[in-house]
Amino acid sequence: MIPRALLLTLTFTLGTALGSGPAQAASCGIFGLTVPNPQVLVALEKKAGCTFQHVRWFQDWNQPFNQEYARLLSQKGRTLDLSWQPRYVSKGKLVGVPYRDIAAGKHDRFITQFARDIKRGGKTVSISFAPEMNGDWGVYQLTSKNTPAHFKQAWKRIVHIFWREKAPVRWVWTPNILYPTALSSYRELYPGDGYVNEIGLDGYNWGTTNPWNRWKTFAQTFDESYVAIKQITSKPMQLGELSSVEKGGDKAQWILDACRQLPKYARVKKAFWFHINDGRVDWRLTTSLASLQAFRRCAPGTALK
């Protein structure tokens, strides 16, 4: 749904910045955060008055696992979530890695090294391979030559390699919310409970930012897809990406409503706010003072016991 030219670079000096967050601040509860770098994380925590225990970042296919970033984010007991995208940049353009090539073993050396790097880091990482794989807007998503069967074969091959290397990874299967032109059902894309630890679900309220969009409440955004997921697996869930725009409605009220609705989604244990301005749409919690204040009012109250 959202272009993710978000490859993160990190220097050792950011360790100081990350350590300067609110030392005794309350947890932000069920909410995690997707950010472009640790400095943004620290700045938002100061504004929000709470600490995000769950942090997500993106990584493309030809990049080594960033152990330094993982170490820094694991401070204060943070959990680490990685959206691992099978794509790379070639001559200034994004190129998708075909699932069938992964399934055929053509990338085994890279996958093996990635698993070994995570193991060497010593921290458990949750990985969402090919997030929003059911979409039709990204270079690694479904086509007539990049099928659901290829996806499942690729997923299982990757997991087997990580098992062989004994890398501490939790596997999160993360489709986009249902939409009318999807090329595959959830059931056709699901690798099976034996290969998945957790279910993710990405969804956004686009408001009226596009002619084809309309304002949707939190429930209108997620209800149908949540029910569909429950029909194929009983695995615990997270909202891997969620956000709302300001245009077309009341974003502050949307946030408050999300906090009221989330306890009804009994399987959802984490909800990652997409705190990024992607150049077309500003999804951050700080797009208005009212939106930030709404989050401050509700976030600690969503903590799950």
Q: What angle in degrees, to the nearest 10, is found between the helix axes of 289-298 and 251-261?
A: 10
Look up residue 90 and give its amino acid. S
Nearest of 258, 120, 270, 250 to residue 197 by alpha carbon: 270
CB atoms within 10 A of CB 68: 13
Which helix (DSSP H) or strand (DSSP E) does residue 273 occupy?
strand 268-274
- Do residues 83 and 4 touch, judged by C-beta distance below 8 A? yes
Nearest Cα to Cα of residue 48 among 292, 234, 300, 304: 292
Looking at residue 98, the DSSP 8-state letter turns out to be P
CB 179 within 8 A of CB 213: no
For the record, the structure tokens of 188 come out as: 């056709």
Which candidate in 45, 68, 132, 165 is catalytic?
A: 132
- Of the residues 198, 224, 241, 246, which is catalytic? 241
Known catalytic residue at 45: no
Q: Which residues are catalytic?
A: 132, 241
